Structure 1
């Protein structure tokens, strides 16, 4: 398929996004950018969140990682479901009862202003890196599929994507994104279904035979009971629970969509339905991964191998889709990866803007003109931040999804510790100590993991978030405000 045709497809897709933005942007208020006027249908929010969570990273990384990591990721997915139940029945009621716009203002209510600012700052760091790494992978694919043919430098490709996102989000923000994410999720899932159908036909398999081929394949290893392995079941399951709570329940990006629902009950329905559909979709991605390797093996397609292991596994899905699966599959893949690119980046930039303007600029107390100016400046500023991070990591290799979750363990760990401590204890703490704890604990976790690997051959893996949160909680106990506790007892 020619690069020109792909470019036309992307342009047409963007045109549809602009049409949605135009329709949704009518009759908006100053707060529509942040809250969506709290009128979003929960079914639409649930479906759209799938695309935001999956992103371009999941789209290509999960199928590719099957060749090196088998089905072990499924252990993590099961843990995610449990984490979403916690979000539904513990966090959602708190957010709605306090009528929060920025979810980190809970920390001010519970601990104090410094905990609040620290929690928000850690989100800003976490989300900036996460959004940039997700968009990096998608931008690389679009560069390979389209822009290389026109001699466009990679940094221009990234700029184009960010400018397009700004165009359709800057006016109505989350109110627009709730609806555009729904369209983007549809195309993302359509691409997977079409690819499975094409591969199934190429391998001359019936539906039953396709399922059997996946289940009976050597890569279909779901459970790892080696306690020293980073893929150990208990490590994957527990980290799946904690990372779901941290990266969805404590993430302004994900929760901002949920808080646009009309009431608490609908927000809870949204999370439960979203979690089940997401789990099924991720299993579908794993199955697709096996089929892609079967296809490559049958047709003698060369895959890069180093020291007996596949490398650059993130290129498997795009390479086969664009060069071997035919026009229909290529078009669906381009639409899918484009949808994933916009879906993950637009909501992330909007959430970053919301958090910074509410948590650091006190925008809720500004007049309408000041609100618009501040919002647009911050929106532009975070676009620059994400562009910078993308360029810094532009030469990275390997599956990006593992990198994202490892980074999340260090950046979201203190947030998780703060919220768990705040929700499950009534202990008052010295608020001024919180910033120091939240900076030192990720560093401690990093060196502790290195120590365990060197001395005990024990890798924390994704469990670094558990260690990080546990150390944070332990330190918060050590800095409790004894004077305040005594006064409360009298």
Structure 2
């Protein structure tokens, strides 16, 4: 498929999203609409749209690409099982708490439980974590667009990033969450359709029926799911499941982005129905993504396709687009493009809205009654939206100059450092109800904990007899933060009811 054709499809796609945004936000574009979607979202739309937000372009490209690594294969499914357990804990423990307190920003809980400085610290951790994580996810699709589209027009990488963020800004800055609920539903439809249709097209190219495809994947060198031979390695099953649980609790349950969607439902019952439905679909769709990876490697073997090289380094992230754009017909190439675009932009638009919401509520107090009628409050929100777009631009440019690894590996590694303190803060708040903290010392604990974890991670093999720390690093991080908070704790003046 030619770069011009790809570009035309992208323009039509974003034209549709901008049209939807204008229709959705036509009646109202105030802060209640932007932050909470007027508290009137349908749970089934939220559940379906969250699939696109949770999966992202990382799942779409990096997960299938990593299947070819002998030490990984279907290892990611161990992590997904942990994710599922984490989603259930969120639905049963955290969502009831957030609804009882009628929160707009979930970090308001920390303010009421531990104090203002702790609250600002938690919100700052989210802003940093989500900015980095979402920038990484957007980076993944931008490098694909750069390689297969914009390089043909001699467009510099920085301009490609700027165009991508500008398009996202164009359809999110007015309607915010209310727009996202609708556009993410559409984008998830493209994403889910894409993965199923890709399997069909690749199977057809390999002359596989459904049974033959299943047997081929099962008997291939790419389909090992559970790694239990060596607990010292990062792929050990228990490490992956535990890491999946706690990464999910931190990156979803303690993250304003996905929780903002849940809190837009009418009540707790609908929010929980949303989470349970979402969890089921999430597990199933990840099985198909891993299967796509195995089929792509089988296809590459049969047709003599090598993993694309960038600056002398093999990049498995490029295998899927390489096959889709250069070796399959135009229809599967279009399907792939729509799925990739939907997966990545469904994540980034949601994150940009959540970052704006958190800053406006947690630092500017826009949800407080005395501030809601201030002049130019909506304009201020627009400036914040622009600011976070610019910040994501800078992070992507920096990451592009440094990265030579799979993006999925980088995202969860960074999350272990940035979300760990949030895990410790909420664990202390929920389980130590007779205690509070000396508020002014909390930022130091939340800085010290990731620093200690970095040293442990770098020296784990030497310290623990060749034991390699993987996704369970977030547990260590949260535990160190929790213990640090205990050290600066004091008796609460009254037993907390939260």
| TM-score when normalising by structure 2 | 0.95
Alignment of 1:461-480 (within 5 A): 461-480=470-489
What SS does structure 2 have at the residue aligned with 1:363? Answer: coil
Task: Measure, in 2, the Cα distance between the counterparts of 1:449 and 1:341.
Answer: 29
In structure 2, the partner of 1:95 is 98
What SS does structure 1 have at the residue aligned with 2:222? Answer: coil
CA offset digits 1:274-318 (Å, max 9, x no partner) = 111011111111111000000000111122599xxx931101101
Moved over 3 A (4+): none
- The 3 A distance-change label for structure 1 pair 199 and 90 is same
Task: Measure, in 1, the Cα distance between the counterparts of 2:146 and 2:115.
Answer: 46
- Following TM superposition, by how much is the alpha carbon of 1:383 offset from its aligned partner in structure 2, in angstroms? 0.5
In structure 1, the partner of 2:468 is 459
- The 3 A distance-change label for structure 1 pair 325 and 368 is farther
Confirm or deny that 1:430 pairs with 2:443: no
Of residues 211, 222, 226, the one that matches 2:214 is 211
The answer to whether the Cα contact below 8 Å between 2:308 and 2:318 also exists between their aligned partners in 1 is: no
The answer to whether the Cα contact below 8 Å between 1:235 and 1:462 also exists between their aligned partners in 2 is: yes
What SS does structure 2 have at the residue aligned with 1:428? Answer: strand
CA offset digits 1:415-472 (Å, max 9, x no partner) = 0111112112212221222111001000001101222223421111111100000111
Of residues 73, 77, 82, the one that matches 1:79 is 82
In structure 1, the partner of 2:414 is 407
What SS does structure 2 have at the residue aligned with 1:369? Answer: coil
Alignment of 1:74-153 (within 5 A): 74-153=77-156
Task: Measure, in 2, the Cα distance between the counterparts of 1:159 and 1:54.
Answer: 23
- The 3 A distance-change label for structure 1 pair 334 and 100 is same
**Aligned-residue CA RMSD in angstroms?**
1.7
Gaps of 5+ in 2: none
Task: Measure, in 1, the Cα distance between the counterparts of 2:27 and 2:308.
Answer: 53
In structure 2, the partner of 1:14 is 14
Task: Measure, in 2, the Cα distance between the counterparts of 1:304 and 1:391.
Answer: 22
Task: Measure, in 2, the Cα distance between the counterparts of 1:311 and 1:424.
Answer: 46
Alignment of 1:208-357 (within 5 A): 208-225=211-228, 226-303=230-307, 311-357=314-360
- Following TM superposition, by how much is the alpha carbon of 1:242 offset from its aligned partner in structure 2, in angstroms? 0.4
Task: Measure, in 2, the Cα distance between the counterparts of 1:451 and 1:162.
Answer: 38
Of residues 456, 477, 487, the one that matches 1:448 is 456
Confirm or deny that 1:56 pairs with 2:47: no
Task: Measure, in 2, the Cα distance between the counterparts of 1:222 and 1:355.
Answer: 38
Of residues 163, 166, 169, the one that matches 1:160 is 163
Task: Measure, in 1, the Cα distance between the counterparts of 2:2 and 2:314.
Answer: 27
CA offset digits 1:197-240 (Å, max 9, x no partner) = 11101111110110111112122111112111011111100010
In structure 1, the partner of 2:41 is 40
- The 3 A distance-change label for structure 1 pair 305 and 172 is closer
Number of residue equivalences: 485
Gaps of 5+ in 1: none
Task: Measure, in 1, the Cα distance between the counterparts of 2:490 and 2:357.
Answer: 32
In structure 2, the partner of 1:379 is 385
What SS does structure 2 have at the residue aligned with 1:158? Answer: helix
Task: Measure, in 2, the Cα distance between the counterparts of 1:372 and 1:304.
Answer: 46
CA offset digits 1:18-74 (Å, max 9, x no partner) = 121122113223310000001111100111011011111111000000111111111
- The 3 A distance-change label for structure 1 pair 454 and 305 is farther
Task: Measure, in 1, the Cα distance between the counterparts of 2:194 and 2:327.
Answer: 15
- Following TM superposition, by how much is the alpha carbon of 1:369 offset from its aligned partner in structure 2, in angstroms? 3.1
Task: Measure, in 2, the Cα distance between the counterparts of 1:452 and 1:152.
Answer: 43
In terms of mean alpha carbon deviation, does 52-61 or 214-223 score higher?
214-223
In terms of mean alpha carbon deviation, does 21-30 or 95-104 score higher?
21-30
CA offset digits 1:166-189 (Å, max 9, x no partner) = 111111101000110011111112
Task: Measure, in 1, the Cα distance between the counterparts of 2:477 and 2:293.
Answer: 32
Task: Measure, in 2, the Cα distance between the counterparts of 1:302 and 1:154.
Answer: 25
The answer to whether the Cα contact below 8 Å between 2:420 and 2:474 also exists between their aligned partners in 1 is: yes
The answer to whether the Cα contact below 8 Å between 2:50 and 2:184 also exists between their aligned partners in 1 is: yes
The answer to whether the Cα contact below 8 Å between 1:429 and 1:481 also exists between their aligned partners in 2 is: yes
